[in-house]
Each structure stands twice: as C-alpha cells, then as structure tokens.
Structure 1
Amino acid sequence: MERPRFGAVSGPFEGTAESRLVPLRWVEWGPASGKPVVCVHGLTRNARDFDALARHLAAQGRRVICVDVPGRGLSGWLPEGRFYAVPHYIAAMMPLLTSLGEFDWVGTSMGGLIGMGVCATPGLKMRRFVINDIGPFVPVAALERIRTYLSEPRIFADIAGLEAYLRQVHAPFGPLADEEWAHLAHYSARMRPDGQVALHYDPAIMEPMQGELADVDLWPLWPAVASRPVLVLRGERSDLLLRETALRMGESPGVQVATIPRCGHAPALMEPAQVALVAHFLAG
C-alpha cells in the first residue's frame, strides 16, 4: 500500500516589519517524478483529509502534495491571529509552489480561496483547478455560522469525544463510514500536557472573523481563475457555495460544475465516486 512521505520548508509570510519565517509542512504521495497535484484543506482541517484522494492519484502516477496550511496540523503557527489570511498563506507556500513549476490544485473551502489567490499571483503556474464548495461569493450568513462553531475553544477528554464533536459540526461532509470519521478524528487531535485532547489548529485562526462580518465578493478575481480548466464541486445543500453562484461560475468557458448529492459544505472527497470525478478531471 502507498505510504505517505513528509516534506517541510520554512516559507516567508508578509505583513510584519521584520522578516519572519513559518515552518510549512505537507504530506506527499506518489512518485517524485509525477506531475504535481497540490491539495489544500478547509479552515479548521488538515492535510490528512485528502488521504483517500491522494492514494488514488498516486496509483495513477501523480505526485500529490497535501499541505498543512500555517496554523493547522504540523505546520507552524503565526505569531498573531491577524496574519491568518490568504495573502500570508500564499507567501508561506511560495518556496514550495515555485519549486514545482506547473501544478494542479485541489482546494476545499479555504483551500479553494487560497487557490483563487494563487491564480492571480504572477509567476505561479496552475494547470487545472478543482474548487470544492467555495466560490467568488460567500454569503455573510454562512460566515456567521462558521464563526459560531469557532467561537469557543474545544477541549475533549479523549479522541472519542472529539470524534463525536466532528460528527456533529461536520455532518455536511456527507455520509461517511465509521472508519472515515475515526480517520478524521485521529488527525484532528492534538494532545495536551494535561492528557486532554484539543483540535489540531491554532485557536487564533478565528481572529480575522471577529467584529462585523459581510458578504465576501471576489468576482473581480474570477477571470484570472477561469483562464484554465476548472471543476467546481458543490454540495447540494451547501450554504457557502450558493446554487446561483455555482451557475454563474459555470457560465465561463472551460468551467464544469458538478453537484454532489447528500452533502452540504463541503464534500469530504472520500467517497469513491467523488474521488473518481476529481481524478478524471485532473487526467485531462
């Protein structure tokens, strides 16, 4: 069975008066000579969400790089919560992305927003883009829902308690098997010195969401995004990627839209049909 490898680089991020570096880590699958696919997770998630997809793509000869965004998983935390924003994530990933040359991108939720920023960054060469349940318009009601479940740090007595929480808050991921929920829980856990379990991200990631929220409108970026083949995945019950937004995205030449049944925000990309859909698109 394909086993993951682990990579790391210290990448710069902008926004401070002094030069700063953040350790960026990722999980890598497949042959080093394969055409690269970069997979980037959602707001509170981590690189191991993509294990099922990565194994499948690696078996097809692709080099798959699943990144822990700064502040999540094994990557470093940023010194202040206000730095948790897309421009800083892209800056931290620049050493990795420039080393790859041309690459494909699979981005779930926040990972899709980061990918949109990558499309507009000079010198970065994205070939094909899978946008999983996010778009250039995000309604404020969805942001307020996310802020609600981020508002209190969650501490659990054990991983079983953390898994029960994930099953509740991430029910829109779709109908997952028990072993898939256990997988998500295992890699979402950070052991504390007191023996309790915390979620594996910096609680300060919510700082940019404090204060008054508003709709996010990134339509001015869309022409740069849609200049390459794009597959948009939308959970049929998603509150982040509205149906009318997905339809408008699909009006651009070269953009395909697929609705994933029995899901909200966001399809977990673990079900074989979802994995096959992404793999088929990336093989084009």
Structure 2
Amino acid sequence: MTVGEAPSNGRSPRTVSLSGADGLKLAADIWGPDTGPSVLMLHGGGQTRHSWKATSRVLADAGLRVVALDLRGHGDSDWSPDGGYGFEKNSEDVLEVLDQIDTPTTIIGASLGGLTGLLATAAAPDRVRRLAMVDVVPRFEAAGSARIRDFMRGAPRGFASLDEAADAIAAYLPHREKPRSTDGLRRNLRLRDDGRWYWHWDPQMMEKPPTTTPGERSAQLEAAARTITVPVLLLQGKLSDVISDHGVEEFRGHVPHLEVVTLNGAAHTAAGDDNDAFSAAVVEFCSRP
C-alpha cells in the first residue's frame, strides 16, 4: 500500500506496510488529511513510531499529513537478516518511503532518526522540503551516547514484568515523572514464551560491531550536511547529555542556515520530555510556505 492509498480520519491513525530497501517491509502510522503537506517522522534508536503519537496528533490537527515510521529492526517493521542497521541502511529505507509518499516532504528525526534524515535529505534534496533534527548533531557527546547504549544493552534477559521495565526506564530518565500506568510499555515490549518481557528491537543492532570509527562516521555526516540547502531546524534539549553547545556550533559551521530551538524542560528524549513546546516548534516549522 502506498501512503496515498491509506485511509485516515484525522485523529486516529491507520497502519500501513511500506516497502524499504533490501525487500524489507516497514510499518507506519498515517495521520491527518490525505491532501495535507507531508511529514515523515523517524524515531530514535530503541523507540517505535508510537513515540510520536502526541506530536502526530497535533500535526494532524494542524492539517498536516503525518507518516510515523518504524525503522528497520524496530517495532512492527522487519528485521535486517544481515544485521544492517547503520545510518546508510536506514537512509536507503527512507528514500524508498519518500518515493511512496510521492510529494516533497518534511522530515522530523530524533537521534538515530535525525542522522538518518540528514543523509536522506542530502541524497534526495528534490524530495525533502525541510529537515528537523531532534537533539542530535554529527559530532555528539561520547558519554551521552554510551549511556544510551548501556541502557539498550542492559536487559538481555528481558524483564520479569512491565513494572520492572518501568523501573528501568525511570532510572534511565530520572528527570521525567514516572507514568502511573504501564499500558504504554506494551507497545515497546513483547512477551515471549519464557514469560519475560523483551524490548521490541533486533538485538543485532547492539551486537554487530560498526564498520567505521566514530570519527569517520561524524566526518561522513558532516560532508552530507554541507550539501544541504533546504531549511534545517535543530531542537536541542537543554538537559541533554548527548549534544553540547560546542557540537551545535560545529554543526552550524557545516549548515550556516541552521535554526536552533532550545527546549528548556527536555533532555535527549525531547518530544516526550516537553511535548507541548516540542510540538509547537515543529508545527510552526512544518507549516511554513
């Protein structure tokens, strides 16, 4: 099914299967009117399309057509048989999805999704109208990145209960109020035959060693950034340990037209930390002529 064929009634999404690279099938939720300007939302590593639910609803209410995608190896999308989960492979998927959206699109990407969106924008400037990157730049902070990796690797045997998983998230995000209900976690975890709950992403993402050094990856991303001429917005979490002011200014050196919005109540998980301010900023950005 192409995006244009997906029925939607505004505030309730419709789930479709889109074609990615390498023959993979990618799950996506479609929000908003069929004729609205298109927005493609790319989540961070270890997340799913459901992390965009609140923002997708706000964007749909503003008349925008939102495609919230599960990246390969995440959520309900296919897993890569060879463990191909680098920025380049994700970018290849996005280029396939942009073909199916079939109209110039604004990309909003968080963390992994932001760097994926950067590469896709550089590769297909005729298909991307704007790029919004959420708390990520090509040269991010090693300590913050390591903390994310440690969390994602932290439960190889899963959790005995949803409450145990909720406690792990609360320890990882101490600045955020712990939800009273664990119902939302069911979208990010799967109950296996052994009776334990596991994160719903492919473990190969964390097990397969990278083929390039961090410096080489950053240089590749910076080279792509220098070719981008469409508007670029960076939404920076004030409390983030993943990007620094120095990293932001380095990025601006490669993208002189970069706009920056600082979310004072947010850390790296900006959309969930300060959703009202985040949603207001992206609605304004996506609604420009």
TM-score by length of 1: 0.86
Structure 2 unaligned runs (5+)?
A: 1-9
Who is 1:87 aligned against? 88
Who is 1:262 aligned against? 265
Is 1:140–1:214's contact at 8 Å kept on the other side of the alignment? no
CA separation in 2, counterparts of 1:183 and 1:136?
A: 35
Who is 2:69 aligned against? 67
Is 2:40–2:108's contact at 8 Å kept on the other side of the alignment? yes
**Does residue 1:164 correspond to 2:173, yes or no?**
no
Map 1:77-226 to 2 at 5 A: 77-81=79-83, 83-100=84-101, 101-122=103-124, 125-152=127-154, 153-171=156-174, 175-176=176-177, 178=179, 182=182, 184-209=184-209, 214-215=214-215, 216-217=217-218, 218-225=221-228
CA separation in 1, counterparts of 2:73 and 2:109?
A: 17
Q: What SS does structure 1 have at the residue aligned with 2:230?
A: coil
Is 1:190–1:199's contact at 8 Å kept on the other side of the alignment? yes
CA separation in 2, counterparts of 1:127 and 1:35?
A: 10
1:235-284 residue CA offsets vs partner (Å, 9 max, x unmatched): 11322221112134346443211111133223134521221111111111
**Which residue among 255, 267, 276 is the counterpart of 1:272?**
276
Is 1:136–1:221's contact at 8 Å kept on the other side of the alignment? no
CA separation in 2, counterparts of 1:281 and 1:118?
A: 19
**Does residue 1:25 correspond to 2:34, yes or no?**
no
Q: CA deviation at 1:31?
A: 1.2
Q: CA deviation at 1:58?
A: 0.4
**Does residue 1:5 correspond to 2:14, yes or no?**
yes
1:163-201 residue CA offsets vs partner (Å, 9 max, x unmatched): 222222244xx535626x746523211121233211111
Report the AA paired with residue 236 of structure 2.
R
**Does residue 1:76 correspond to 2:78, yes or no?**
yes
Change (3 A) 1:257 1:163: same
Higher strand share: 1
Change (3 A) 1:280 1:177: farther
Structure 1 unaligned runs (5+)?
A: 14-20
Report the AA paired with residue 145 of structure 1.
R
CA separation in 2, counterparts of 1:185 and 1:161?
A: 11
Report the AA paired with residue 51 of structure 1.
K
Is 1:43–1:110's contact at 8 Å kept on the other side of the alignment? yes
State the percentage of identical aligned residues: 27
Is 1:38–1:67's contact at 8 Å kept on the other side of the alignment? yes
Q: What SS does structure 2 have at the residue aligned with 1:157?
A: coil
Pairwise CA RMSD of aligned residues?
A: 2.4
CA separation in 2, counterparts of 1:110 and 1:208?
A: 16
